[in-house]
């Protein structure tokens, strides 16, 4: 594992190294651009750390194997991009239903379908939240620098173990290849299974320890026995699965807020948000609201910032986070919304934002 200190790493390598620091000891994956370097790096590094690396036959088995390993109490991860992320959706719902910790890294590229293989996009933001069928909640994190990829990878493992839930880390084609200076801290905090007690999160019991576990994706009672026709069993289970994330939003959410008093608030995340910083330096009437936790939506942090403001969202998709931002901001009296939406691979620049600000 990397010893504490300063390094010069690409986003993909940073994710791989950070997962090892976080205690990840199982990686299964299938090659796909632009996430492949995570897998290649894991292939070289994982077995030396005593863990398991396997290249599976497709993304469906990659996530399935990672969930299977998670059930044994091994911190596990898979990484993928666009089409692979789509293939994983059914089993992400299974992990949510069976409350199995697993971390999925999605290095976003242009879609739909095969789309722009090597080009940056942010089109998976809603899929990360709503991709699988039925009611469930994902925890979704988004980084805007290589350093943050490291910090959030470690946090992703901690959150998945704490909440017994799949956690999705969104990277993108640009961050994946970007090489930046990073610092590995001396004191990395790794949460162990059952270390933190959270309301609505049952105790984690691993396979193979004589627990006689019955695990199923069917609606089940506390024993894990399938009961699919009882209204109350389903209601109780699924409400708890949703509430364990929703009601703990305060504990999960993490937002960078700059200049919250400003009249104009830029809401952005990931690589797009980097366009905002030069403007913040120049203009005091512009503030930033940048969630590192996209889902659950950081409503507790939004209240003070969104009160009667001009909201400018900046993202690289045509239908995305702005919908949720608008829903929340309207609650707090904001009426003026403008969305900067750039697709095709062009990363938003300060100029794009300035043009919108000057119209004001």
Partner 1 sequence: MEFFDFYRKDRWPHQFCPGCGLGTVMNSLYKAFSDLNMDLKNTVFVSGIGCTGRVPGYINGDSVHTTHGRPIAFATGIKLARPDLNVVVISGDGDLFAIGGNHIIHAARRNVDIKVIAVNNATYGLTGGQLAPTTPHNMITTTSPYGNKEHPFALSELVAAAGANYVARWTTAHPNQLVNSIKTALTTPGFTFVEVISQCPVNFGRRNKMGDPVYHLRWIKDHSIPLSKVTFDMKSPFDFMDIDFKGIYTIGEFVKRDRAPYGKTIETENNILRPPKE
- Does position 216 bind partner 1 by CB under 8 A? yes
Among 2, 7, 54, 332, binds partner 1 (CB under 8 A): 54
Give residues with Cβ within 8 angstroms of 238, minimum separation 6.
Answer: 134, 135, 136, 219
In angstroms, the CA 14 to CA 87 distance is 25
State the pairing for strand pair 116-120/139-142: unpaired
Nearer to partner 1, 53 or 163 (CB): 53
Binding residues for partner 1 restricted to 61-80, rule: CB under 8 A: 61, 64-72, 74, 76
- Does position 203 bind partner 1 by CB under 8 A? no
Closest approach, Cβ 207 to partner 1, in A, equals 5
Angle CA(75)–CA(50)–CA(202) in degrees, nearest 5? 20
> Contact, 238 vs 134, CB < 8 A?
yes
Phi then psi dihedrals of residue 329, to 5 deg: -65, -35
Nearer to partner 1, 64 or 128 (CB): 64
Give the binding range for partner 1 (CB under 8 A) out of 105-113, 133-141, 204-212, 232-240. 204-212
Phi then psi dihedrals of residue 80, to 5 deg: -160, -175
- Does position 52 bind partner 1 by CB under 8 A? yes
- Cα–Cα distances in Å, from 60 out to 29, 184, 268, 314, 321? 9, 32, 31, 32, 27
Count Cβ atoms below 10 Å from residue 326 Cβ, excluding itself.
Answer: 16
Give the binding range for partner 1 (CB under 8 A) out of 20-28, 151-159, 176-184, 335-343. 20-28
Contact track, partner 1, 81-120, x by CB under 8 A: ---------xx--x--------------------------
State the pairing for strand pair 26-29/76-80: parallel
Give the binding range for partner 1 (CB under 8 A) out of 201-209, 269-277, 280-288, 312-320. 201-209
Nearer to partner 1, 241 or 275 (CB): 241
**Which residue in this structure is represented by tokens 């980084």?**
143
Binding residues for partner 1 restricted to 25-44, rule: CB under 8 A: 25-26, 28
**Which residue in this structure is represented by tokens 């290649």?**
40
Nearer to partner 1, 90 or 254 (CB): 90
- Does position 291 bind partner 1 by CB under 8 A? no
Binding residues for partner 1, rule CB under 8 A, total 43
Nearer to partner 1, 6 or 133 (CB): 133
The b/e string for 267-301 (b: 16+ C-beta within 10 A; e otherwise) is bbbbbbbbbbeebbeeeeebbbbbbbbbbbbbbeb
Residues in contact with partner 1 by the rule CB under 8 A: 25-26, 28, 47-52, 54, 56-58, 60-61, 64-72, 74, 76, 90-91, 94, 207-218, 225-226
């Amino acid at each position: 594992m990397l010893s504490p200190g300063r390094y010069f790493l690409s986003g993909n390598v940073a994710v791989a190294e950070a997962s090892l620091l976080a205690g990840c000891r199982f990686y299964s994956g299938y090659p796909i651009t632009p996430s492949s370097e995570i897998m290649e790096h894991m292939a070289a590094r994982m077995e030396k750390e005593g863990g398991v690396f396997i290249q599976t036959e497709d993304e469906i088995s990659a996530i399935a194997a990672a969930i299977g390993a998670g059930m044994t109490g091994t911190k596990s991860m898979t990484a993928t991009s666009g089409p692979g992320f789509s293939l994983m959706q059914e089993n992400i719902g299974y992990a949510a239903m069976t409350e199995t910790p697993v971390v999925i890294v999605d290095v976003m590229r242009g879609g739909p379908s095969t789309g722009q293989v090597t080009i940056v996009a942010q089109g998976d933001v809603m899929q990360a939240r709503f991709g699988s069928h039925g009611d469930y909640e994902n925890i979704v994190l988004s980084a805007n620098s290589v350093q943050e990829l490291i910090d959030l990878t470690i946090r992703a493992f901690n959150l998945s173990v704490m909440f017994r839930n799949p956690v999705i880390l969104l990277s993108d084609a640009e961050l994946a290849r970007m090489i930046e200076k990073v610092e590995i801290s001396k004191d990395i905090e790794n949460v162990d299974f059952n270390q933190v007690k959270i309301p609505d999160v049952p105790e984690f019991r691993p396979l193979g320890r004589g627990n006689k576990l019955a695990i199923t994706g069917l609606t089940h009672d506390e024993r894990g026995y399938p009961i699919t026709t009882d209204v109350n069993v389903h209601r109780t289970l699924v409400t708890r699965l949703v509430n364990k994330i929703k009601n703990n939003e305060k504990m999960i959410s993490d937002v960078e807020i700059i200049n919250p008093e400003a009249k104009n608030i830029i809401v952005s995340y990931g690589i797009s948000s980097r366009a905002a910083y030069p403007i913040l330096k120049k203009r005091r009437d512009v503030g930033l609201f940048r969630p590192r936790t996209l889902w659950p939506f950081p409503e507790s942090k939004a209240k003070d910032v969104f009160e009667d403001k001009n909201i400018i969202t900046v993202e690289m998709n045509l239908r995305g986070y702005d919908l949720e931002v608008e829903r929340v901001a309207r609650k707090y009296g904001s009426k003026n919304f403008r969305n900067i939406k750039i697709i095709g691979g062009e990363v938003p620049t300060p100029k794009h934002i300035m043009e919108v600000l000057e119209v004001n």
